[in-house]
Chain A
């Protein structure tokens, strides 16, 4: 089944994306991630999984984080040889609230799902921002 992600992949450039912290913009984040993975040469299933992981991280940032002064969260892509890393940065410092959100039948699956879909997940908490780094390698 051909998805919106696949249809949009060819038109997305690798670089930086300042995304309004709104649920309606999640499709744009997925397309951006899918395009970055496609440019690295990953197959369609791997691109989909990478986009899935990025969607979860951006959703977390929208739900529990804070945008910059312009209402944006920041996505940036770094390619190091065969490894692609996409960073999702917001301006909240909310690790505690994320952990508290896990105790419900409706919540708490996002991080596990995200981790399953990529090779590495790193969480970088600074005094004024939180960054999730998602990495995948071309095999």
Chain B
């Protein structure tokens, strides 16, 4: 499992490598200034052959339509690849970000999970 950090002040960090699940952790405000980086990070993983992606948004305080679009694009691409899946983590306490996902109407494309553990379990079931 590989961890990457997107945005915020924390550096990218690799926690563990070895299987085919990659966890990306994004923080702060995901707007049009940040969404290209998200899109590129997700594309880089998919292009490298990763099919099970977890994107942890637990510490994200703002997400706009361009960032949601980037996630939806990656999720669609993974769906079209055999066995691919994008699991997004957003806890109950992050009500504002959750609400944006719901209003955006993307929960049919992007699977939301309340914890990283829940997302990893769901992906383990897919593989």
Q: Identify the A interface with B (CB < 8 A).
A: 1, 3-5, 23-24, 26-27, 30, 45, 48, 52, 55-56, 59, 62-63, 104-107, 109-110, 112-113, 116
Contact = CB atoms under 8 A, between A and B. Distances in A.
Contacts of B106: 109
A27 B94 contact: no
| Interface bin, chain B | 20 to 34
B32 A113 contact: no
Contacts of B33: 23-24, 26-27
Given A1-B93, A5-B62, A109-B69, 18 more contacts: A1-B96, A4-B61, A23-B31, A23-B33, A26-B31, A52-B64, A52-B100, A59-B64, A59-B65, A105-B69, A105-B72, A105-B109, A106-B69, A106-B70, A106-B72, A109-B104, A112-B103, A116-B103
Contact of A1 (B31, B61, B73, B100): B61
Nearest to B31: A26
Interface in B97-127: 100, 103-106, 109
B32 A59 contact: yes
Interface string B23-56: 0000001011100000000000000000000000
